Amino acid sequence: MNYIRTAMLLAAMTALFMGVGFLIGGTGGMMIAFLIALGMNAFSYWNADKMVLRMHNAQEVDARTAPELYRIVERLAKNADLPMPKVYIIDSEQPNAFATGRNPENAAVAASTGLLRMLSQDEVAGVMAHELTHVKNHDTLIMTITATFAGAISMLGNFAFFFGGNRNNPLGIVGVLVAMIVAPMAAMVVQMAISRTREYAADRGGAEISGNPMALASALRKISGGVAHVRNEAAEHAPATAHMFIINPLSGEKMDNLFSTHPATENRIAALREIDRQMGGRGGVKPMAPAGFAATRRNDEPPAAGGTQGPWDRAPGRDDEDDQPRGPWG
């Protein structure tokens, strides 16, 4: 079904792209748009993930440069029966994360430095499990290609705005206005509708993979609050990628509506509470503590007396060298 959905999406976006080309340049413009669309389909399939990572200045890390995050992703990938994805860190104070890649064998997950500073181990595990669900469901291909097409259609709309279009098309000046305004909005609506549907499914999958729905719910609440107060400059310059993040990096929506890129956070948290109830509370699974880490406390427990209040507690018995800042987020 995911491959059928991807094919339908590509056909719809290609048709929309060609329609905008016709409104701008007539039959010749439509043929040029068709050829461009074919090239974009091929290019997006093989390279869109690299483009998105580059747009957000993501840096690849490994078990040496980011041991905590890498081990969490490694454990979750095993839980999900997935190949180990590449792991990236985005140097951004806004807490957020996304996944990309054309298939599970060529996938990548990315988390921001702000997210790693703000969340506990269990919460980070919930977020990464959510992103791995996108990988497992092949959502990353759909979402990455959609981002590429939405950006291209918006670019054509801007071209029509500055240079005008073919006013001899069947719709005349109305057709030019459609190319300028309606087509980019239509691409945005398709993009957002896909994102909203897939986010609920990824929340459920993330809860099942991590075994801790309420840790993911807590993470969503913290991320939503952080996004509302911290601007993400890279996302502002590449708004077509907004639907790829776990929480919309551009703005916080209060309700599920036609123009929201994500479901409302409160609705997602309510759904996770129901999943937690169905799983018997905390999913009936001990909170995840990857090898080399101490088990983290419950999300509603206060820190132990004298305990650390940094992003993640240290395992007991580590020497002074291990207490030094590690990983790109320090």
What would the mean pLDDT of 52-59 be, rounded to a whole number? Answer: 92
Residue range 263-302, pLDDT digits in tens: 889 999 999 999 999 998 754 444 444 333 333 333 443 3
Residue 306 has pLDDT above 50, yes or no: no
d(CA 106, CA 103): 5
Q: How confident is the model at residue 185 (pLDDT cuts 50, 70, 90)?
A: low
Residue 199 assigned ligand-binding role: yes
Q: How confident is the model at residue 178 (pLDDT cuts 50, 70, 90)?
A: low
- For the ranges 24-28, 152-156, 264-268, 325-329, the one whose mean pLDDT is highest: 264-268
- Better-predicted residue by pLDDT, 119 or 24: 119
8 Å CB contact between 85 and 106: no
Residue 130 assigned ligand-binding role: yes
In a 13 Å sphere around the CA of 1, the CA atoms on its Cβ side amount to 2
d(CA 259, CA 289): 38
Give the pLDDT score at 33: 73
d(CA 105, CA 82): 8
The first and second tokens of residue 278, run together, are 């169905």
Residue 80 has pLDDT above 80, yes or no: yes
Q: Is the pTM of this model over 0.75?
A: no
Give the pLDDT score at 127: 98
The first and second tokens of residue 178, run together, are 């459609």
d(CA 114, CA 97): 10
Give the pLDDT score at 34: 75
d(CA 261, CA 292): 37
Q: How confident is the model at residue 159 (pLDDT cuts 50, 70, 90)?
A: low
CB burial of residue 321 (10 Å; 0-12, 13-18, 19+) = exposed
Nearest to 329 by CA among 309, 314, 311, 308: 311
Mean pLDDT of the chain, nearest integer: 75
* Active-site residue, selected from the candidate residues 68, 123, 131, 253: 131
Residue 246 has pLDDT above 50, yes or no: yes
Q: State yes or no: is 60 an active-site residue.
A: no
Give the pLDDT score at 286: 43
Q: How confident is the model at residue 3 (pLDDT cuts 50, 70, 90)?
A: low
Residue 134 assigned ligand-binding role: yes
